[in-house]
Structure 1
Amino acid sequence: MSIFTTKGGQVYQLHQLTATVNLYDAPTGDRLATQGAAGRFLWVSALESERTYVQLAEDDYWGWLDQGDYRHLTPATEPYQPIARDRAYIEAVLEDVIAFCLAAQEAPHEYLWGGTVAPNYDCSGLMQASFASQGIWLPRDAYQQEAFATPLGSNSIAETLPQLQRGDLVFFGSREKATHVGLYLGQGQYIHSSGKEYGRNGIGIDTLFPSEDPVSIAYQRQFRGGGRIEYSYLPLTPHP
């Protein structure tokens, strides 16, 4: 039995991915928006000739799927069932979340905008993948993760540091919006995937403490605050 839902007068069918696919932020396919790993669920309307606008079920994230990847879609026979995770569960697996990030750092990789699947990640993609490895879903982008997390501190590092615990998120960006995120390791250190402009073109560990390292300094200037993950994201998309 196929699974369908209706949104805005449009009928969507639930599919499951049989391989990793790329989703783009425009129908032209010029820039990667996110990736869907094998096994993830996807809401799909009628497939178009070149690219189709689809929605990942686990985090409600939209993107354009290339025609060449339609072969990796198979109609789901059972509804996607999100699993609620509370803070007690999250605390029990935080060391495994951190271990995922550290292992990703050790594998050959580089920074990939939109990357959520090994080996190449962007900042929020690494956070999402590390928590998802333990069955905890986060929203996709850094600003969405900041809004989802319980706030800790402010744009003052001195105010925020005493409130941070190992496994919390730390956010960076402009006054208006978070554009970068890392995972706090304790002792002022955090692990993150950063690009070439300010970062290391990949996953590295930096500090919130005073430093002479140019990457740490660059992100300290963009610091926005911390956030604690108290529960797993539950999708807004209506499920039959």
Structure 2
Amino acid sequence: MARVAWFEPVALPGRSRPLHGQGRLVLLLIALMLLAGCASRDMATQDPRAGEGLSIERALILATAEGALGTPYRFGGNSPEGLDCSGLVELSYRAAGIPVPRTADDQYRTLPEARQARPGDLLFFGDRRKATHVGIYRGNGQMIHAPGRGRQVVSVPLDVDYWQDRFLGAASPAP
């Protein structure tokens, strides 16, 4: 199969002129959206539709969490010097002026449940008796979290069996 460069026109069946530039980009985005719709399994997530923005609080939460990418894990940490999973949540929500409990299980038990996670919401994982881990839903099937000793804050895909098997629920404390 011949490789097509991004700048080369693409002809569609039944169309006399090939697509150029923006038309091609629109076609690619539509294809990606259709594929993304098939990717989710058990976790109900909802990303903002085109034209719908995030609240300022959610934007601040996500910006803070994204700014923490690469921060080393530190048990009990809730500062830029080191973070554990619930410390990342506390730090990110504090930046948006939203107080949250300190531990993953307290967050899970006290924050308002979300049926569908939106960017900035919390995702909880555990063993059905207790939430032992929390991450921040980034959108597009990704979560930002502090994975554990010897690692750093990262963004990971949620379609992995490990997360699917341990998922407890989502919370939405941000407007």
Segments of 5+ residues of structure 1 without an aligned counterpart are: 1-89, 154-162, 212-216, 232-240
Q: Which residue of 2 aligns with 1:103?
A: 67
Structure 2 Cα separation of the partners of residues 188 and 145 of structure 1: 21
Segments of 5+ residues of structure 2 without an aligned counterpart are: 1-53
Q: How big is the alpha-carbon RMSD for the aligned residues of Structure 1 and Structure 2?
A: 1.9
Structure 2 Cα separation of the partners of residues 134 and 164 of structure 1: 18
Render the CA deviation track for 1:135-170: whole Å, top value 9, x for unaligned.
2111100011112222234xxxxxxxxx11111100
- Equivalent position amino acid for 1:201 in 2: R
- The answer to whether the aligner puts 1:190 opposite 2:143 as a matched pair is yes
Structure 2 Cα separation of the partners of residues 189 and 166 of structure 1: 9
- Equivalent position amino acid for 1:150 in 2: P
Larger radius of gyration: 2
Q: Which residue of 1 aligns with 2:78?
A: 116
Structure 2 Cα separation of the partners of residues 207 and 149 of structure 1: 24
Deviation at 1:187, TM superposition (A): 1.6
Structure 2 Cα separation of the partners of residues 148 and 92 of structure 1: 23
The alignment partner of 2:124 has SS state of strand
The alignment partner of 1:136 has SS state of coil
Structure 2 Cα separation of the partners of residues 221 and 110 of structure 1: 26
Deviation at 1:174, TM superposition (A): 0.8
Q: Which residue of 2 aligns with 1:201?
A: 151
- The answer to whether the aligner puts 1:173 opposite 2:126 as a matched pair is yes
Structure 2 Cα separation of the partners of residues 114 and 195 of structure 1: 11
The alignment partner of 1:220 has SS state of helix
Q: Which residue of 2 aligns with 1:25?
A: none
Q: Does the Cα contact within 8 Å between 1:191 and 1:205 map onto a contact in 2?
A: yes
Query: Which structure's residues are more often strand, by fraction?
Result: 1
Structure 1 Cα separation of the partners of residues 170 and 112 of structure 2: 8
Query: Which structure's residues are more often helix, by fraction?
Result: 2
Deviation at 1:230, TM superposition (A): 4.8
Q: Does the Cα contact within 8 Å between 2:57 and 2:174 map onto a contact in 1?
A: no
Structure 1 Cα separation of the partners of residues 117 and 80 of structure 2: 27
Q: Which stretches of structure 1, 4 residues or more, deviate above 4 A after TM superposition?
A: none
Structure 2 Cα separation of the partners of residues 140 and 118 of structure 1: 16
Render the CA deviation track for 1:2-39: whole Å, top value 9, x for unaligned.
xxxxxxxxxxxxxxxxxxxxxxxxxxxxxxxxxxxxxx
